[in-house]
Amino acid sequence: MTVQIPQTYDDLQQKYQSFISRRDNDRHLNIFWETNPSKFNENNGQKFIELSGGMPHESFFPIDSMNLNILKEPVSQDTISVDITKEKPDKLPLLRTLQYALSEGFQPLIDFIMNFITKLNNIPLYDKSLWKIIIAGGSCDSLYKFFETCTDESTTVMVEELTFVPVISNIINTGAKVIPLRLNLDNSDEGIDLNYMESLLTNWSKGPYKHLNKPKFLYTIPTGQNPTGLTQSIEKRQKIYQLAQKFDFVILEDDPYGYLKFPKFNHKDPNSNIYKDGITSQEYIEKVLMKSYISMDTDGRVVRFETFSKIFAPGMRLSFIIMNKFFYDKFLKFQEISTRQPSGIGQQIVYSTIHSMAHSSNDNDVIEAWLQWIMKLAGNYTERRNVMLESLYKTQSYKQNLLDFVEPSAGMFVIIKIHFKGDNIIEQMNDLAKIMDNNGVRAILGYKMAVDQNFSHDNLNYFRLTYAYADNTAQIKEAIDRIDKSLVQYFAK
């Protein structure tokens, strides 16, 4: 297998033109405003007068300033007070963020993102001039726009058999076909079943999907997968990337939980927490975080989706995508004729908050401050994960072999698999869910997150629990007690 590393934009276009939706041909941004800078000389004391832009003057904006009280660390009362005005911060004042802006996002925030992902080595291996970052309105917005740009009735997309199903709606709505990939739901070989995947691709013309075109995309949540909590090993990622090269498909790496990474659960010391014991940011980067698909990418076939939702706040609706410049241009064109630009205020608050955490405006200090916040978040999630798993191991349900579960090493979720009898799994799941509801606890019914319930028949018997939203660890313990009570009641019938 010979891999051609792209050297020019034309190389990217030639390689990936066939991955673009037919709808892209009909998308054209009709520009009526002048985009070239004026040649007017303002040195004579006269100011250039702009009457072309249909923009309200800044004096008409109802917001004059904002004051943010920013937590110094999660779950604390200690804050930093930051003022945002029409003049500051210098690089991104309110005068800019309340106004119409470029569709790709504000450059100061893009510059921070670039510095941050470079520090973490979440960047491609091919020429830096051939990939870019674009900001969007949250991961769902990012994914919707990408599938609208790149998939249509001729496209086949591979996805994990259990996944964040709103993405499936995005894919199907473009006319594309979705096929599930088997998952290993255990604590030894987490994630996509490589043998199944390779066999499926190798024998495509004779397999169950031979009536479909060969896949052009793999959509995967490789770290802290939703709903399973599974994390793919580095070796598995490398082999999947090699399959992508061999069978010529693009990897869509959706990584909302990648920074919420922690060591495996310590059965001898359930309270073990490296973040509480002390860890440097460099150790976090080198020893804790998983190597991303984008950091393995030599030929432009990985598109990485990141979001501020899990490490800042979901209401910001702010995300970003790293992709080769050919995909970038197609994506930008769709963003320009649809939502136009991500929220200026959202970008303002994220930018100002991150920079206010640092002791100086030095880029390295800003990155270190943001890493410290993320590590403290991960420490809190580690503690909550530990409490939930320890509580599950103590339940009568576990001791009576009524359930088992997967121990996550990242993200927000634990799945508990219920040992039902018989084939009417969905009916039994619904009955158990009613008992849980009566006992004051609720979880996601696993079958609702299956791409194809027939395909995943043996993996429908689970509930997805989250340790993220509880008020505290005491509430997590109480929730597990209620689940235990519900299971004992159900199986006693």
CATH number assigned to the domain comprising residue 433? 3.90.1150.10
pLDDT at 1: 63
* Domain membership flag for residue 10: no
Structure tokens at 49: 């007068």
Where among 351, 368, 385 does a domain terminate?
368
* Domain membership flag for residue 50: no
Same domain (yes/no): 289, 398: no
Same domain (yes/no): 106, 201: yes
Number of domains in the chain: 2
pLDDT at 414 over 70: yes
Q: Can you give the CATH number for the domain in which 280 is found?
A: 3.40.640.10
- Separation between Cα atoms, residue 319 and residue 113, nearest integer Å: 10
- Please, what is the end-to-end C-alpha distance for the chain in angstroms? 59
pLDDT at 350 over 70: yes
Where among 318, 348, 368 does a domain terminate?
368
Same domain (yes/no): 451, 360: no
* Domain membership flag for residue 48: no
Same domain (yes/no): 120, 188: yes
Same domain (yes/no): 338, 443: no
* Domain membership flag for residue 311: yes
- Separation between Cα atoms, residue 190 and residue 206, nearest integer Å: 28
Structure tokens at 2: 């010979």
Same domain (yes/no): 464, 353: no
* Domain membership flag for residue 61: no
Same domain (yes/no): 268, 381: no
Question: For the chain, what percent of residues have pLDDT higher than 90?
Answer: 86
pLDDT at 425 over 70: yes
pLDDT at 253 over 70: yes
- The overall longest dimension of the chain from CA atoms, in Å, is 90
Residue 148 pLDDT grade (very low, low, confident, very high; cuts 50, 70, 90): very high
Residue 37 pLDDT grade (very low, low, confident, very high; cuts 50, 70, 90): confident
**Domain with 458 in it:** 377-491
Residue 259 pLDDT grade (very low, low, confident, very high; cuts 50, 70, 90): very high
* Domain membership flag for residue 444: yes
Going by C-alpha positions, the residue among 413, 429, 433 that lies closest to residue 421 is 429
Same domain (yes/no): 297, 243: yes
* Domain membership flag for residue 79: no
Residue 423 pLDDT grade (very low, low, confident, very high; cuts 50, 70, 90): confident
| Exposed/middle/buried for residue 340 (C-beta within 10 Å: 0-12, 13-18, 19+) | exposed
Same domain (yes/no): 328, 400: no
Q: What is the pLDDT of residues 153-169, one digit of tens each?
A: 999 999 999 999 999 99
- Separation between Cα atoms, residue 21 and residue 34, nearest integer Å: 30
Residue 382 pLDDT grade (very low, low, confident, very high; cuts 50, 70, 90): very high
pLDDT at 186 over 90: no
Q: What is the pLDDT of residues 87-116, one digit of tens each?
A: 999 999 999 999 999 999 999 999 999 999
Residue 133 pLDDT grade (very low, low, confident, very high; cuts 50, 70, 90): very high
* Domain membership flag for residue 294: yes
Q: What is the pLDDT of residues 45-64, one digit of tens each?
A: 788 888 888 889 999 999 99
Question: For the chain, what percent of residues have pLDDT higher than 70?
Answer: 100
